[in-house]
Amino acid sequence: MPDTVDSTSDDRTVNNVVGHTYRKLSDIEKAQMKRLKDMGADFIAMLHQVGGTEIGGDRFASRDLSLANTHVEDAVMRAVRHITA
């Protein structure tokens, strides 16, 4: 079994160790989920650019940018949960 599974893959259900079940997503839902995640990643990259910090790093130039990152992550998670529910 691979170490990672793409979030849009139907194989995302194979590493489920706590007994939850997941429904298969339509191609449209998969595309929506990928787009939301890509948009979130782009926004977070912009936060790093604005703050002059390393893109992909875990440190931000200010508390405000760190909070913005947290809210972006939360927004993406909640939107994806809506799609996958």
For residue 80, pLDDT beyond 80: yes
- Measure Cα distances from 74 to 11, 23, 44, 67, 80 in Å: 24, 22, 12, 10, 10
Write down the pTM of the prediction: 0.77
- Integer Cα distance of 80 and 75 in angstroms: 9
User: What is the rounded radius of gyration, in angstroms, for the C-alpha atoms of the chain?
Assistant: 15
pLDDT of residue 50: 97
- Domain locations in the chain as residue ranges: 23-84
**3-class SS at 56?**
coil
Model pLDDT for residues 28-68, shown as the tens digit of each residue: 999 999 999 999 999 999 999 999 999 999 899 999 999 99
* DSSP-derived secondary structure letter, 21: -
Residue 8 banded pLDDT, cuts 50, 70, 90: confident
- Integer Cα distance of 84 and 12 in angstroms: 12
pLDDT of residue 7: 72
